[in-house]
Structure 1
Amino acid sequence: MQIGTQAICNMLTGNMAGSKLVWKEWMRDADRGSVYSELLAINDDGVIMATMILILNCIRNSEELCQIMVNAKTGVAMLNSILNDLERLHSDEQNKNFELGYAIISQLIDYGHFTTIYKTIENTSDNKMNGRLTMLIKVLDSKIHAYKEGEVPDFLGHTELKKISGLVRQLCQRAIFVMNQVIEGQQQEQEISSVLEIDDVSEVYTALVLILQTSSTLLTLNDQGHTVFKEMLIEDDVLKSVTDLLTCCETMDQKKQPGFNYLKRDSVRLLGALCHEDRRMQDKIREIGGIPIILAQCKIEDANPCKYSIYLREYAILALRNILKDNHENQAIIAELEPKEAVQTDELTEMGLKAKLVNGEVKLEKA
């Protein structure tokens, strides 16, 4: 099979007319085209490599053939197989087959087919998050971060930006549902492990972290595209969704239940970006009670790290700066806050110190 596939690949390489003719026939004739999606499912790296090279050679630099692939039943079957292979190989990104699969999906995204692929795979998965969808988001996220600094990538048109905005809200709601299940399970003294037996929990978490990071990145761009995306987020009421997510994460922490690592960090970062130089968002976060929950994040947490040594507390401080800037109503909320108690931390206990609240100020004394 590998030799036969390589032979076809050799015949079509550099033969644009032949590639176009053959590709259209494969996409039209399900019986012929399905052979190659079946080859992609074989547990043989050599066969998979030859098949991916063949597919890539056919669609490379051809908007027409990419369009045909994402709309054909045979093409969708190939995409499912390719994304499955990427998921299987994601821990070994130096693997040649991973590079080939990434190149195929990347080529399709370049021609603006992210949303089409996402919806198609979602429809074949009972609208549940799965590894193929997560891998598709990973490829998109990687391409955005690799794009030239300061500009919205050319492959992100209105449809793609709108899809990203919708995913923030959709995945936030799903994560909140899962965490509420955990909290309710604890209240009813159920086994937490049984509550967490939801098929797509892990995929929702991974996808949500990626989408939050991607959205924050797009909001920090300097060109006009970031303004368009921000208005989409506002229209989808993402500020409310992310604030609810952050509140739920905080509740999980207070109940000593493990939350989704990184979610607080990336939620705070996105909220800060939304409130940057935007009076509407500053007022909105005050109205929904989001300022105290942001203020509560001004602490160090091992579960919410950030590369480059920037942690949750730093993102929270930056977010507060954006929320309070030139907004007297928001500043008044902070000014009215009064300390309620001095928290005795394990670190203070180890140092032989005790925290006390005296006349509104925290004092330390020997234990």
Structure 2
Amino acid sequence: MDGVPENILQPLLAAGNSSKLDKALENLIELARTTDGRSDLASNNMIITNTLHLCKSLAFNSCFDTLLLALKLIRNLCAGETRNQDSFIELNGFDIVSDIISCRKVVTDLNYGIIRMGLQVLANVSLAGEEHQIVIWNRVCSLEFAEIAKLRRKEICDPLCMIIYACIEENQELLHQLCLDRGLPLLVEIVRTASDVGFGENWLKLILTRTCVEESYFTSLFSKMLYNPSDSTFTHDQSFLLSILSEMINEQIEHITVSKVFAFDVFNLLKIALTVLNCVSRPKSGIPTGSTDIDVLGYSLCILRNICAFDGHVEIIESLLSLGLIHMLLELLRELEPPAIIRKTLNRAENSDTNTYSGKVCPYKGFRCDIVAIIGNCAYKRKHVQDEIREKNGILLMLQQCVIDDENPFLREWGLFGVRNLLEGNLENERVVTDLEIQGSVNLPEFAQLGLRVDVDPQTRRPKLVNTTE
């Protein structure tokens, strides 16, 4: 091949058992797919040496098809084979591959395959250990790689995230560097790419959980997602970021160490997001709704709901309570119009065809459930929370959530869960319900017309909700 020195070309042709370079590379790629094949090729250090030199020559000649094969061979050679991984670093392979995938000619020609393959090479080498990761890191956290992340391609985003996570998983210093001024532009562009085109593997989720949930960099990243000003308070990228974190906390809450800073940041974000309640229409769906402001509100509530559901977060929950979480949620419930079934039955009782109850509407289906769930989670075996809810006249308010509501699936279940936690082990709260009793039951119009009543056991004097329609 023109431009490739014979001392590079001939050993590869011989090892690949072909007189044609592309065929020789294909044969070597197939051989390097297996552990034994990689081991055999690693014993001949000239294979990876010559292939790296070949890559350098081909990049200048714009022989992109052959270059892709050469990179694929290096990727396979470095898949768990320590000798090849070490040789890659010793031969300055990282700079060679980095120069190729960040080359203006490659990017301009939109050779996503070459860029993806080059990143997969670096990802395999990064798995070799800290020494290799540090060499790789200094180049990854650069503007060149931030530009690569801007290409908005899923197949580029995934291996790039794999490299980053391998480097920060157990290295606190590299994690901090990623979230500071030098590395943050790269992380921002990765999130924007994933927001635009999605992602195929879980590396991004792991990075965001590590940096935003377990560490204290959520607000730093979230604030950088503000661009393209619009009428919305929040952007699509911010909503996307929060959705990923909400999903991870929901799925992995028992395996994630949530930082107090993150919990406080989400609480403060919730207070900002609640302003959207002043201008929303009746909900048509759960989150995501298509409205970035409403979605940020919903994901914030979901995150707090799951944090407050886990016993391992006692200190964080107590800190959130000290910030006025219960007071805020009770006031929010009071501001909402009553559940639909209560509105309808009371309107019928008053012979009115129109809604006589004013109040804010739920911005998405499940909004009321999320509020009730957080209150119920916080009240579980916490007498001071049970007492606070009673002192703020919240027991009857919680009882009113024990109904079926089309706009809030499982509201009745969450309401019953919350009421049970309010009454469990708290005689004062039980007495509040007992004081509403009329000849053995609480005969409130809201419950009588809905087929519900609160019965009080004559011996234990403990109240319980009964569905009279069953």
- The 1:207/1:130 distance shift into structure 2, 3 A limit, reads farther
- Per the alignment, residue 148 of structure 2 pairs with 39
Quick one: which amino acid aligns to residue 104 of structure 1? I
TM-score of the two chains, using structure 1 as the length reference:
0.68
Structure 2 residue 245 is the aligned partner of structure 1 residue 140: yes
Quick one: which amino acid aligns to residue 10 of structure 1? V
Are the aligned partners of 1:166 and 1:236 in contact in 2 as well (CA < 8 Å)? no
* Pairs within 5 Å for 1:237-316: 237-250=324-337, 254-255=357-358, 257-305=361-409, 311-316=410-415
| Structure with larger RCO (C-alpha < 8 A, sep 6+) | 1
- Per the alignment, residue 122 of structure 1 pairs with 223
How far is the alpha carbon of 1:240 from its aligned partner? 0.8
Choose which of 114, 117, 139 in structure 2 pairs with 1:6. 117
- Per the alignment, residue 301 of structure 2 pairs with 209
- Per the alignment, residue 354 of structure 1 pairs with none
- Per the alignment, residue 30 of structure 1 pairs with none
- Per the alignment, residue 276 of structure 2 pairs with 178
Distance (Å, rounded) in 2 between the aligned partners of 1:167 and 1:20: 33
How far is the alpha carbon of 1:344 from its aligned partner? 10
* Pairs within 5 Å for 1:12-31: 13-14=124-125, 16-27=130-141
- The 1:108/1:243 distance shift into structure 2, 3 A limit, reads same
Give secondary structure in 1 for the equivalent of 2:332. Answer: helix
- The 1:123/1:7 distance shift into structure 2, 3 A limit, reads closer
Distance (Å, rounded) in 2 between the aligned partners of 1:109 and 1:346: 44
How far is the alpha carbon of 1:210 from its aligned partner? 2.2
Distance (Å, rounded) in 2 between the aligned partners of 1:13 and 1:48: 15
- The 1:51/1:229 distance shift into structure 2, 3 A limit, reads closer
- Per the alignment, residue 73 of structure 2 pairs with none
Distance (Å, rounded) in 2 between the aligned partners of 1:276 and 1:72: 42
Distance (Å, rounded) in 1 between the aligned partners of 2:153 and 2:220: 29
- Per the alignment, residue 178 of structure 2 pairs with 69
Are the aligned partners of 2:225 and 2:237 in contact in 1 as well (CA < 8 Å)? no
Quick one: which amino acid aligns to residue 14 of structure 1? V
Cα shift readout 1:269-317 (whole Å, capped 9, x = no counterpart) = 2212222222211121122221121111111012212xxxxx2112212
Distance (Å, rounded) in 2 between the aligned partners of 1:22 and 1:166: 32
Distance (Å, rounded) in 2 between the aligned partners of 1:205 and 1:47: 31
Structure 2 residue 281 is the aligned partner of structure 1 residue 167: no
How far is the alpha carbon of 1:209 from its aligned partner? 3.4
Structure 2, unaligned stretches of length 5 or more?
1-106, 283-289, 341-356, 437-441, 452-467
Distance (Å, rounded) in 1 between the aligned partners of 2:278 and 2:428: 32
Structure 2 residue 207 is the aligned partner of structure 1 residue 104: yes
Distance (Å, rounded) in 2 between the aligned partners of 1:148 and 1:208: 15
Distance (Å, rounded) in 2 between the aligned partners of 1:346 and 1:285: 24
Pairwise CA RMSD of aligned residues?
Answer: 3.8
- Per the alignment, residue 228 of structure 1 pairs with 315
Are the aligned partners of 1:52 and 1:100 in contact in 2 as well (CA < 8 Å)? yes
Distance (Å, rounded) in 1 between the aligned partners of 2:271 and 2:218: 21
- Per the alignment, residue 155 of structure 1 pairs with 257
| Percentage of matched positions with identical amino acids | 19
Are the aligned partners of 2:266 and 2:304 in contact in 1 as well (CA < 8 Å)? no
Distance (Å, rounded) in 1 between the aligned partners of 2:195 and 2:429: 45
How far is the alpha carbon of 1:70 from its aligned partner? 1.0
Structure 1, unaligned stretches of length 5 or more?
28-32, 187-197, 306-310, 348-362
Quick one: which amino acid aligns to residue 178 of structure 1? V
Distance (Å, rounded) in 1 between the aligned partners of 2:411 and 2:339: 16
Cα shift readout 1:187-223 (whole Å, capped 9, x = no counterpart) = xxxxxxxxxxx974233233223223322332xx3xx
Give secondary structure in 2 for the equivalent of 1:86. Answer: helix
Distance (Å, rounded) in 2 between the aligned partners of 1:277 and 1:102: 33
- Per the alignment, residue 81 of structure 1 pairs with 189
How far is the alpha carbon of 1:171 from its aligned partner? 0.7
Quick one: which amino acid aligns to residue 204 of structure 2? G
- Per the alignment, residue 193 of structure 1 pairs with none
Are the aligned partners of 1:249 and 1:259 in contact in 2 as well (CA < 8 Å)? no
How far is the alpha carbon of 1:53 from its aligned partner? 4.5
Cα shift readout 1:148-191 (whole Å, capped 9, x = no counterpart) = 85xxx4532xxx2343145235415532x2223459xx9xxxxx
TM-score of the two chains, using structure 2 as the length reference:
0.55
Distance (Å, rounded) in 1 between the aligned partners of 2:265 and 2:155: 39
Are the aligned partners of 1:286 and 1:330 in contact in 2 as well (CA < 8 Å)? yes
Distance (Å, rounded) in 1 between the aligned partners of 2:396 and 2:164: 53
- The 1:76/1:216 distance shift into structure 2, 3 A limit, reads same
Quick one: which amino acid aligns to residue 303 of structure 1? E
How far is the alpha carbon of 1:234 from its aligned partner? 1.7
How many equivalent pairs are there? 306
- Per the alignment, residue 59 of structure 2 pairs with none
Quick one: which amino acid aligns to residue 295 of structure 1? L
Distance (Å, rounded) in 2 between the aligned partners of 1:344 and 1:276: 28
